[in-house]
Chain A
Amino acid sequence: MIALAAGVEVLALTGESATEPESVRTVMLVGLLMIGAWLSGMLCERIQVPAITGYLLFGVFVGPNLLNLVGVGQITPGPHGEDPPMQFASDLAITLIALTAGGEIHLNSLRGRLGQIAAVLAMHMLVLMLGVVLAVVFLAPYVPFLRDIGGAATWVVAVLCAVVMVAKSPAVTIAMISDYNAHGPLSQTTLVITVFKDLVLIVLFATVMAIGKGVLDPDTPITGTFLFAVAFQLVGSLLLGAVMGLAMAYYVEVVRSHLSIFVIGSCLLIALIGEQHVLIAGHECHFKPLLMALAAGLVMQNVWPKSSAPLFTTIEHTSLPVFCLFFALAAAKIDLRALATLWPWSLGLVGVRMLMTWGGTRLGVMAAGMRDDWAKLLWLGMISQAGVSLLLVTLITEKFEDTTWAEPLKQVLIGTIFINQIIGPFGFRHALLASGEGRRPSAAPRPAFG
């Protein structure tokens, strides 16, 4: 396929006729990325490496750094700020991931365990965030792109880094539990914590982004009305998402046909609503697609579970092509040259994150009064990062694109996520096998995303 695509490009360039617009090439590249990433994922799975690593490697391979089949024009905004042709993949992926995460929250099953989970979650997040913030602030004078940005910006960067480092991949967790056929309290607790962490994280992220922008942008100072506008954004997004969730469940109940297209249409609609600006107390606000989709998924799962079941099955099926495309594109955007110079910082961040995850989870397990042996294993399920983390990094870069630190920070964070993606599943596999809840997968083909 790569050879075919290259041949097509050569023929198109040397042809006698006029050249085709970039949007036409996008169609071919979507096909190439989808199938190529999927095949690479399968190859990786054969050698016990998570499929997602394969998607990323393929993206790097065909991206501007190596083959340049997916050129810069396809993945970066145009000169007048136009969305790149491949932007729709990110829009779809954001809402699909959030819908899936919302659908994983079964409120009924949480009753009685909420206290324990809250304790672990709070300690884990608190220690991890504190550790990362301090590390970034302490090391900032030595980091080339953070050295001269000023105190306020350093703190904003530190908190943003901390939020991204808190993120954990629900998709990987679900896939691993399914792969290893794991049944038991440890795997279920890991899953519940992961999903709840996502919920808290998305709210936290939206808040930090809004306040961070307010701190750095003199046009949007932090005032009472500003905070009200931020709160309105968050609560409004959740409420709007809940309404959308009900509407989606109603559609499934009444129509129940062409669900794949309905899912894609709904995700695009959520992305569209996220782009609409509303003026609240003199501040320009817009609803958060991540929160809306999360709330929609949560409402569907917990209010209308029977009707929504086919929709979640469809989302699961539709997710794979979108994820293949999204992860490959995300990797294509990585600037390998920048990463080559910034990798020590990525590695350092991985180290801090692992240390803080271990410490925070251990403290949380003790505070919650859980079994002692879990203190050694639970943290191993908190390492892997994937879609949500990459999404957050993308959103940070978009929001702070006019700053000098956004682009190099993206490279460092993506490098960190890349490493965590590779080592994370190995850690969780060890935890599942050591606890006796999981079994080694059979030779049968396994799903990439649960």
Chain B
Amino acid sequence: MRILLGLAILITLALAASSRKLWSLRRTRLGTALTTGGWLMIAIGMMIGPHGAELITHDQLEVVKPLILFCLGWVGLMIGLQAHRSVFTKLPPLVTRVALVDVALSVLFVGGATLAVVMAFDQPLWAAMPVALVMGVCGVSWSAEVRSLAKSPMQGQAVTGVMRGASGLGSIFAVLAYALLVNSFVISAYDSGAGGALVDTATEQAITWSVLRMGIGIGASLLIGTAMGVLGLWLSKLAGRGEGEFLVVLLGLVSFTAGAAATMGYSALFVSMLTGAVLVNLPGKALDRIKRVIIEAEQPLAMVLMLVAGVLTDPAVFVNRPKESCALIAAVLAARAVTKLGGSRWQVRRGLKIEAGAPTPSLVGLIRQAPLAIALAAGYALSQVGRADQSALRGDEVLMLVIVCGLIAEAGPFFHKPNSPAKRDTPPAKPTSTPATGAPPSTPDAPTEPEGGAA
């Protein structure tokens, strides 16, 4: 069975990419951006996928989906573990404000731009809405990786601190917004030849908005997330010191949570995030161990996720819908520039009381897409609404566009020339973010404090 070959390749590549021997790649700015952003893995995924060497064919994608779901569950749990209550009380108000405003502006501007472009190509509103919303949510936040931006670490500490903190919070808000999105749409199957009656074998589908479905979805997600969080803590205590037992609990918890969410048609990322948030806010020593194992496996799992996202993506969208795709990418990038370089950059400069005209080269990094966007788009590609035939763009096409937008945005800082470039005077710190979440490497007990006294 070729799927096993695919899986073996995926895992081997993920290992190779995350092994210590290859860390030397990250010593350059380009290497850092490529590896921590997961771009290399995405490229390899595309090469071995159905649109490349076909080591994994279209028929076999169904078998790869459980792996993606598991990775999404892991990422969700990791983001949730950042959501300790103290984060919201101890973080400077500026960070929270920047993150919240960014979510609102991104959904509004990036989503609005997408909606305008898609509808301009004769797509009905309800078919365009999910695509617009998912592009908006994918536009939230930015990469928390600041190492490749650090031309002058001394100068950029306060700025990058706020960037990292807001990026981490933004990830939480983005997953929340995404859950509202995927829980809100109903895909109904209609037989157009039978007066629109609901039938088992559909010939047409309709996408409609349903507040009831959204309510039930969020309610059920909360129930499962909370229950699994409480259960997870109890199980972790029960596992004691045994490594094998602990692995059973962790793997079982992630699988069950992500799988349950996806079986009901809800967001695996969101439900797992809730589980992580419940876990981190309950008292217990077992939590430290969960965090350690989760963070240890973060890098390879993120790499697997990026690889599989590459496999899942559909580059044919540029052949089938060239004008629409290019227009959409241009619109998203423009809206992103307005939102980040206008809104967020202005907020940070104002909040940190940076004098007018003073250079803040790191802030150009706000334009870069959060790696979480690819996880969100991959989740969307698996969701019911992403698979619906009547959607303006299929999930795998959306994923391709998100990847291209992210890649172009990633290149932005490399072409940016600051007014007074300072030489790198100290060796850069270890990479600070991870491809999948872009979350800051904070622990809930010691929440991220923007360096240099951002407050």
A interface residue numbers (CB < 8 A to B): 1, 4-5, 8-9, 11-12, 15-18, 20-21, 23-32, 34-35, 38-39, 42, 83, 85, 91, 254-258, 260-262, 264-265, 268-269, 271-272, 275, 316-321, 324, 445, 447-449
Contacts and interface: CB of A to CB of B under 8 A. Distances in A.
A324 to B, nearest CB: 6
B18 A30 contact: no
Contact of A28 (B4, B238, B244, B263): B263
Contacts of A27: 66, 69-70, 73, 255, 258-259, 262
B248 A324 contact: yes
B263 A31 contact: no
A258 B21 contact: no
A128 to B, nearest CB: 32
A20 B266 CA distance: 10
Interface residues of B, number: 63
Nearest to B213: A16
A204 to B, nearest CB: 27
Given A29-B259, A35-B235, A8 B7 contact: no
A44 to B, nearest CB: 14
A258 B263 contact: no
Interface string B7-32: 11001101100111100000000000
Interface in B53-74: 62-63, 65-66, 69-70, 73
B300 A258 contact: yes
B334 interface: no
A11 B213 CA distance: 12
Interface of B: 1, 4-5, 7-8, 11-12, 14-15, 18-21, 62-63, 65-66, 69-70, 73, 186-189, 210, 213, 220, 224, 227-228, 231, 235, 238, 240-245, 247-249, 251-260, 262-265, 297, 299-300, 382, 384, 387-388
Contacts of B297: 258, 260-261
A447 B73 CA distance: 28
Contacts of A31: 251-257, 259-260
Contact of A265 (B8, B256, B260, B382): B8
Contacts of A30: 66, 251-252, 255-256, 259
A349 B265 CA distance: 48
B244 A18 contact: no
B384 A26 contact: no
Given A26-B66, A317-B247, A261 B264 contact: no
B258 A8 contact: no
Given A254-B21, A258-B297, A445-B240, A20 B262 contact: yes
> Majority SS of interface residues in chain B?
helix
A272 B5 contact: yes
A258 B293 CA distance: 11
A101 B14 CA distance: 28
A27 B21 CA distance: 33
Contacts of A318: 244, 247
A240 to B, nearest CB: 15
A96 to B, nearest CB: 12
B13 to A, nearest CB: 10
B263 A320 contact: no
A257 B19 CA distance: 6
A271 B264 CA distance: 32
Nearest to B61: A23
Given A4-B228, A18-B189, A27-B73, 14 more contacts: A4-B260, A5-B260, A16-B186, A16-B213, A17-B188, A21-B62, A30-B66, A31-B252, A31-B260, A32-B252, A34-B248, A35-B252, A258-B19, A272-B5
Contacts of A272: 1, 4-5, 8
Contacts of B384: 17-18, 20
B20 to A, nearest CB: 6
A42 B238 contact: yes
Contacts of A5: 256, 260
A447 to B, nearest CB: 6
A15 B189 CA distance: 13
A345 to B, nearest CB: 34
A445 B242 contact: yes
A26 B62 CA distance: 11
A437 to B, nearest CB: 24
A84 to B, nearest CB: 11
A275 B1 contact: yes
Contact of B7 (A11, A12, A23, A268): A268
A34 B210 CA distance: 35
A271 B70 CA distance: 21
A9 B186 CA distance: 18
B8 A4 contact: no
A59 to B, nearest CB: 14
Contacts of A32: 252, 256
Given A12-B263, A255-B21, A275-B4, A24 B247 contact: no
A447 B1 contact: no
A24 B72 CA distance: 13
B227 A268 contact: no
A8 B186 CA distance: 18
Contacts of A447: 242, 244-245
Most B Cβ at <10 Å: residue of A17, A21, A265, A319: A17
